Structure 1
Amino acid sequence: MPIDPLPARARGLWEGLAAAPVSFASGGGVSVVASPTSSLCPAGWVGVVSLGGAAVVTTPTERSAALVRDGLAALPMAAVADADAVRRVLPVAEVLGPATLSYASPDAFLPASPGPLAAQQLPGDHPALRSLEEAASEDAGEAALGEITSPAFVLRAGGRVVAAAGYRSWPGRVAHLSVLTDPAWRGRGFARVAASAAVTHAFAARLLPQWRARPLASRRVAAALGFQELGAQLSIRLAGTGAASAGVAVVP
């Protein structure tokens, strides 16, 4: 049976980001490894990435690896990235996520029709993007438009940018999507149009688009564009270790 390239590329990405010898077991299950330089999570945290019935987990020390290995062994595979389930088996002080991980292939991509507003291109550091982030307030940190390395693809209304999308280049030729819409302009399909332009740009550069989302609305936009949900990411700070962090993952 041929290997599906989409899950294979997603697994390869996260195995590399683990920064230690670990892989998603072909027969399923959880593989835990100590990796103080892991990019699956903030420094000093435990990072869990579940894809296709298997998971890789990184911890900051060998001692915490043993603790996490024993704790997660008590959970069914489907629950290892479930924050509530993990809290029942480990001394959790703080969690980030879980966030759904979705990927798109050129064959499955469903480009959005522009509708009344078409996407325009701006430099990723354009001041109009900062104005959009101010309007979006607390959602701006999740979208992380300030981190994109691609151009920004924006929709304007009344002379203002009301939606924008772009991507940050990740290792393994992955394009990590950032999408943000002004709260006053949501529910009109603008996020889908902006994101569609960013995904098209990523495919032209032969990159694998990745969509990481927690809100259901964001997951629906990804699904409408043909993204396939393959797994989830969860970051855990164990009680008595590390400091709080605002991000979901730290990627070089």
Structure 2
Amino acid sequence: MTLDPGSADIIQLAWARYLGLDDGAFAAARKLDADAVLEAGPLSAGARITRADESRKSVDFVRLFGTSALVGPQWALDAAERIPDEELAQHVTLLTLTRQHGGHGQGAAALFFADDLPLRQPAEELTVSHGNPEAIELEGLCPPDDVNEVGLSDLEHRFTILREDNGRKVPVACGAYTEWEGILAHMGVLVDPDWRRRGLGSLAASIAAHEALAAGLTLQWRADVSNKGALAIARSIGFSAGGIQTSVLLG
């Protein structure tokens, strides 16, 4: 689905606050981009927002709806000054820039957003739990890498689908969200490997997403660029691609 232009402004406001930028930083950069096109033509380089933070323990590059931002120590900003956005978005580029400062981890994640979604109706009656024990049990059934990426324990509102198995209700999929920067609903979905490829992840995500929309939040989905399953779920339920976040930890 297509995002309302106002929703893009809301999303960029949330990320500006997360990165420690002025609320209007992305809007100002868009204006600089437009002025550059008028003066130098459409092939001119776009404006990149930067913020030096010598105490920061990471270097973070974010590109949202065509506007980019880079936050980290001044030496990192200087090293990245002449590197195009397309290269900075690659995790290997940030690792190379920060190697002498212990750069490691985190990776690159695709960012998806939605301000409305079609309602998905289950083919049969479902039991959905809002409790923590079921979500914790589900985490124990999933690979640690999946558990760490989704981070259900950090997502306040959880909706776990239960199915009958040998006479007891067992958790098979959980869609969850938490309020992020007071504006967005940061989403996550976890599915028992034995129950994948049955549409349960998409259904759990849809349940959580509509609860978040009803709370007046704009939806955000963040997934590692190599996580094909999570990317497919986001697209299948109607999220729109909005950008990328690439980060490395320092020291």
Residue 128 of structure 1 corresponds to which residue in structure 2? 134
Structure with greater helix percent: 2
Aligned-pair Cα RMSD in Å: 2.1
Q: What per-residue deviation string (whole Å, max 9, x for no partner) do you get for residues 62-111 of structure 1?
A: xx22x2222222322222221123344443621312011110121xx133
- Where does structure 2 lack aligned partners over 5 or more consecutive residues? 34-45
Give the drift of 1:194. Answer: 0.5
Query: Does residue 146 of the first structure (1) align with residue 158 of the second (2)?
Result: no
Other structure's SS at 1:188 match: coil
**Deviates most, 206-215 or 71-80:** 71-80
Query: Does residue 32 of the first structure (1) align with residue 61 of the second (2)?
Result: no
Residue 100 of structure 1 corresponds to which residue in structure 2? 110
Give the drift of 1:6. Answer: 2.5
Q: Please, what TM-score do these two structures have when normalized by structure 2?
A: 0.81
Correspondence list, 1:179-218, <5 A: 179-214=189-224, 215-218=227-230
Query: Residues 155, 78 of structure 1: CA spacing in aligned structure 2 closer, same or farther, 3 A cutoff?
Result: farther
Distance 1:205 1:119 in 2: 22
Residue 55 of structure 1 corresponds to which residue in structure 2? 68
Contact kept, 8 Å, 1:50 with 1:232, in 2: the verdict is yes
- Where does structure 1 lack aligned partners over 5 or more consecutive residues? 38-42, 242-252
Please, which of 41, 45, 48 is the counterpart of residue 58 of structure 2?
A: 45
Other structure's SS at 2:157 match: coil
Distance 2:127 2:112 in 1: 23
Please, which of 204, 223, 233 is the counterpart of residue 221 of structure 1?
A: 233
Query: Residues 79, 53 of structure 1: CA spacing in aligned structure 2 closer, same or farther, 3 A cutoff?
Result: farther
Contact kept, 8 Å, 1:119 with 1:194, in 2: the verdict is no
Other structure's SS at 1:14 match: helix
Contact kept, 8 Å, 2:109 with 2:244, in 1: the verdict is yes
Query: Residues 155, 117 of structure 1: CA spacing in aligned structure 2 closer, same or farther, 3 A cutoff?
Result: farther
Q: Which amino acid aligns with 1:78?
A: E
Q: What per-residue deviation string (whole Å, max 9, x for no partner) do you get for residues 170-221 of structure 1?
A: 1232111121000111111100001100011011111111100111210110
Contact kept, 8 Å, 1:98 with 1:235, in 2: the verdict is yes
Please, which of 64, 71, 74 is the counterpart of residue 79 of structure 2?
A: 71
Q: Please, what TM-score do these two structures have when normalized by structure 1?
A: 0.80
| Larger radius of gyration between Structure 1 and Structure 2 | 2
Contact kept, 8 Å, 2:114 with 2:220, in 1: the verdict is yes
Other structure's SS at 1:136 match: coil
Give the drift of 1:133. Answer: 0.2
Distance 2:54 2:127 in 1: 41
Q: Between Structure 1 and Structure 2, how many residues are aligned?
A: 223
Please, which of 71, 79, 89 is the counterpart of residue 81 of structure 1?
A: 89
Query: Residues 82, 119 of structure 1: CA spacing in aligned structure 2 closer, same or farther, 3 A cutoff?
Result: farther
Percent identity over the alignment is: 26
**Deviates most, 173-182 or 80-89:** 80-89
Contact kept, 8 Å, 1:153 with 1:195, in 2: the verdict is no
Distance 1:218 1:4 in 2: 25
Distance 1:191 1:181 in 2: 6
Distance 2:197 2:164 in 1: 15
Residue 40 of structure 1 corresponds to which residue in structure 2? none
Distance 2:182 2:244 in 1: 18
Query: Does residue 16 of the first structure (1) align with residue 24 of the second (2)?
Result: no
Other structure's SS at 1:19 match: coil
Residue 37 of structure 2 corresponds to which residue in structure 1? none
